[in-house]
Amino acid sequence: MTIYLPIADMSVDVFLLLAMGAAVGFLSGLFGVGGGFLTTPLLMFIGIPPAVAVGTGVNQVVAASVSGVLAHMRQRNVDFKMGAVLTAGGLVGSVAGVGLFTWLRTIGQVDLMVTLSYVLFLGGIGAMMAWESGRTILRRRRGLAQRGKLHQHTWLHGLPFKTRFRRSRLYISALLPLAIGLVVGVLAAIMGVGGGFIMVPAMVYLLGMPTAIVIGTSLLQIVFVTAAVTFMQSVGNQTVDVVLALLLLAGAVVGAQLGSRAGTLLRGEQLRGLLALLVLAVCIKLGWDLVAIPRDLFSIGAVVLQ
């Protein structure tokens, strides 16, 4: 059964979309990640124009994150002050990101930029995760206990605008979360992701936030920033396909439940190792498309009916 997607302007099998949503949902439930960084490349693989894949991906992240943030709020695992600073940075970043996106679209380079950013980020993060989980698995085999330094003092702690974040039990420069939020905002706009895969490690390692509060607080930022990007992409580029987003979501909610149940059967570092392999596989596929000789050097850039 095919359905015509009004914004993507193409007919796609409904069950393919539901299955894709379920697969990404399963993985996000299994690994505890948002899944935006898988949704957008998958949409591109089935032929959705990259601009629409990005605009729709970000809209789907809004839906995928809202129930999570509500759950974390009920458990009081959200630092609202930190969330507000991260969101402020995120909004500035997303305005810049959507501006960049629109400009690149007019000069015909948006596909390249989306693919390149995915290759760089997925490659970097996949490699880091593979290294980290591989090391942990090896250490466990050798029976070594690991213990890292709890706190390191770096130049980051010397920055101005020191602010107290009570819930996170931190007294750090507000510029740090602002900058993290900003980078994530740019990524949300140009990659169609929530950016949790960047923000969570940054909050844990750069800010030194307690892990329990990191997820809820990052989800708060993600909901606001992806909502803002959805709005800006709708206004600036008309690339948000609500029909596509809702179909993906329908599959994702079911998949996520199955995934989180399956997740209890595996150990943390095994999960991270598997996720790393998946991320690297997507990265290699996208990277290959960049370097392989295209089937046709010429392509249609834009069609405007008169």
Partner 1 sequence: MPAVVVAAAVLAGAGAVGGLARAAGEALEIDLNARFIAVTASFTGATVDLYGATDGAGDVIVVVRGPAARITMRRKERVGGIWVNTDSVNFPAVPSFYHMAASRPPADIATTETLAASGVGIDRLPLAPSEAVPAAERAEWRAALVRAQQRARLFPQQIGKVEFRGIRLFTTRLVLPANVPTGKYEVDVLLLEKRHIIGHRQALLEVRKTGFEAGIYAFAHERPALYGLIAILLALVAGWMAGVAFRRI
302 binds partner 1 (CB under 8 A): yes
Taking the least distance from each CB to partner 1, the nearer of 114 and 207 is: 114
Residues 100, 204, 234, 266: which binds partner 1 (CB under 8 A)?
Answer: 234
- Please list the residues that pair with 249 across neighbouring strands: none
Q: Which stretch binds partner 1 (CB under 8 A): 6-14, 78-86, 170-178, 197-205?
A: 6-14
Say which residue the tokens 């980020």 belong to: 121
193 binds partner 1 (CB under 8 A): no
Rounded to whole angstroms, the Cα distance separating 34 from 29 reads 8
The DSSP output letter for 155 is G
Q: Which of 129, 119, 65, 117 minimizes the C-alpha distance to 275?
A: 129
Task: Give least dist CB 235 to partner 1, A.
Answer: 5
Query: In a 3-state reduction of DSSP, which class is residue 101?
Result: helix
265 binds partner 1 (CB under 8 A): no
60 binds partner 1 (CB under 8 A): yes
Task: Give least dist CB 84 to partner 1, A.
Answer: 19
Rounded to whole angstroms, the Cα distance separating 150 from 167 reads 19
20 binds partner 1 (CB under 8 A): no
Taking the least distance from each CB to partner 1, the nearer of 116 and 137 is: 116
Are the C-beta atoms of residues 250 and 18 closer than 8 Å to each other?
Answer: yes
109 binds partner 1 (CB under 8 A): yes
Rounded to whole angstroms, the Cα distance separating 8 from 5 reads 6
Stretch 244-263: interaction string toward partner 1, x if CB under 8 A: -xx--x---x---x------
Per DSSP (E only), the strands in 161-289 are 162-165, 170-173
Are the C-beta atoms of residues 184 and 225 closer than 8 Å to each other?
Answer: yes
Residues that bind partner 1 (CB under 8 A): 1-7, 9-11, 59-60, 62-68, 70-71, 108-109, 111-112, 116, 223, 227, 230-236, 238, 240, 242-243, 245-246, 249, 253, 257, 290-291, 293-294, 296-306
